[in-house]
Amino acid sequence: METTPSHFVKYENNALLTVCHIYKHEDGRILHLVPIIHTGDTKYYQEIKTYIGDKICLYENITVGSIEGRETTSNIIESIQAMEEIALNFDKFNKSQIKRLRRKYFTNDIRNLRRLVKKRMKTMDEKISYIFHQCERTAFDLRNLNTINASVAQILGLSFQYHVMDYVDDISKRKNWVHADVQMDDPAENFEEETIISSPNPEIIEDFQKRASLMYALLYQVMQLSTMSIEKGRDWFANSIITGIKQMEESEQKTLEFIPDLILGPRNSIVLNKIKELFEITNEIAVMYGAIHMIEIENAILQSNFSLYEIKEFMVFGQKK
């Protein structure tokens, strides 16, 4: 089954493709919106890096602490080990409070999803169990998404973006690549028990619930993929991506109700502000960001007298032969 393509992603002839949109302003400025899927062939990421070349490029990568001080991982085992260190740190500061949050504020829907995941997890590889417990122990820290994506890549015989593109020793040191994402302090070092755990406000509760729903759902999808052949898994994965993006394109809010607010709005604002700032010193910019972000970014661009004049396709993956 192949879905109707979205604006930035399409699936045809058993190949998933991202569609780069190139916009030109009436004053000559050029903007490349390069949507990216975080799981794909190694060649896919290499071709995108080649396309960007010497262009000034805004890129995403949520960081904790300084970019220079970050470590990198090269496979799923290293990703799990890296998250385990973070989980231990959370345990040290707020283990009981996180459990209390879960017991007190999980809705029935989240509890049912959790039970479903735990039940199916009994027949899965122990790596899934590790990831599940790390998600819970870290209060569903968004860095867990990297480990989940790495698991999907492994199951589908593909590569995970952050295992291919070296953000520590390569990209962060390229003068033309500009970090345009959220940079957070270590949550364990800035833990405020009274305001965040003991008496969380409605916004914090909603965010906690969204993160939990998202990660339990993604873990369940990982389990589903693990029972399929690679061919069927890739087909299912491609269609799920396009379905999600199309739902967001058709939503008045340009978002999805189960996605934590931090993932989209604030990060898109950072990108748009950086675009405006950099166009003061250059006439050509590329933005390499997750495909789902491009919907809101494009809407803002089209309202700023930019018009589409060219597209370029990149193959994320084809069916495994």
Q: What is the mean pLDDT of residues 77-95?
A: 88
Q: What percent of the chain lies above the pLDDT cut of 70? A: 89
C-alpha–C-alpha distance, residues 180 and 189, integer Å: 24
* Residues sharing a CB contact under 8 Å with residue 198, sequence separation 6 or more, in sequence order: 97
Q: pLDDT-based confidence at 66, cuts 50/70/90?
A: low
**pLDDT classification of 185: cutoffs 50, 70, 90:** low
d(CA 16, CA 42): 14
Measured from the Cβ of residue 279, the count of other Cβ atoms closer than 10 Å reads 17
Q: The dihedral of CA 204, 206, 209, 215: what is its sign?
A: negative
206 Cβ contact list (under 8 Å, min separation 6): none
Total residue length of the chain: 321
pLDDT of residue 93: 81
DSSP 3-state of 40: strand
CB 219 within 8 A of CB 135: yes
The pair of structure tokens assigned to 76 is: 């799923």
203 is written with which tokens? 């916004």
pLDDT of residue 321: 55
pLDDT digits (tens, 9 = 90+) for 279-288: 999 999 999 9
* Predicted local distance difference test score (pLDDT) of residue 201: 82
Query: What is the residue whose two structure tokens read 């000559």?
Result: 28
Structural domain boundaries in the chain? 9-34+47-284+305-317
The dihedral through the CA atoms of 154, 160, 163, 168 has a sign that is: negative
The tokens describing 143, both together, are 């860095």
SS3 state of residue 26? coil
Q: Which amino acid is at 285?
A: I
Q: Once rounded to an integer, what is the mean pLDDT over residues 216-228?
A: 95
Q: What is the mean pLDDT of residues 34-42?
A: 97
Instruction: Give the pLDDT confidence score for residue 213 in this predicted structure.
Output: 96
User: If you average pLDDT over residues 50-56, what whole number do you get?
Assistant: 97
The rounded distance, in Å, linking the Cα atoms of 127 and 250 is 36
Encoded tokens for 36? 């990216």
Q: Quick check: 124 and 194 in contact, CB under 8 A?
A: no
CA distance 175 to 179: 11
Q: What is the pLDDT of residue 70?
A: 61
Report the alpha-carbon distance of residue 9 to residue 141 in Å, rounded. Answer: 27
Is a pLDDT exceeding 50 seen at residue 193?
no
pLDDT at 254 over 60: yes
CB 6 within 8 A of CB 227: no
* Res. 189: pLDDT tops 70: no
Q: Which secondary structure element, helix H or strand E, spans residue 159, and what is its range?
A: strand 159-160
pLDDT in tens, 93-119: 888 888 988 999 999 999 999 999 999
86 conformational bin, left if phi > 0, alpha if psi -120 to 50, beta if neither: alpha
Q: Side chain identity at 69, as an amino acid letter?
A: G
As a whole number, mean pLDDT of residues 8-36 equals 96
Q: Average per-residue pLDDT in the chain? A: 89
pLDDT digits (tens, 9 = 90+) for 256-266: 777 888 888 89
- Looking at residue 137, the DSSP 8-state letter turns out to be H
Give the helix/strand (H/E) hosting 200.
none
pLDDT band at 209 (very low <50, low <70, confident <90, very high): very high
Non-local (6+) Cβ contacts of 265 within 8 A are 255, 296
- Output 147 or 253, whichever has higher pLDDT: 147
185-214: average pLDDT: 70
What percentage of the chain carries pLDDT values higher than 90? 68
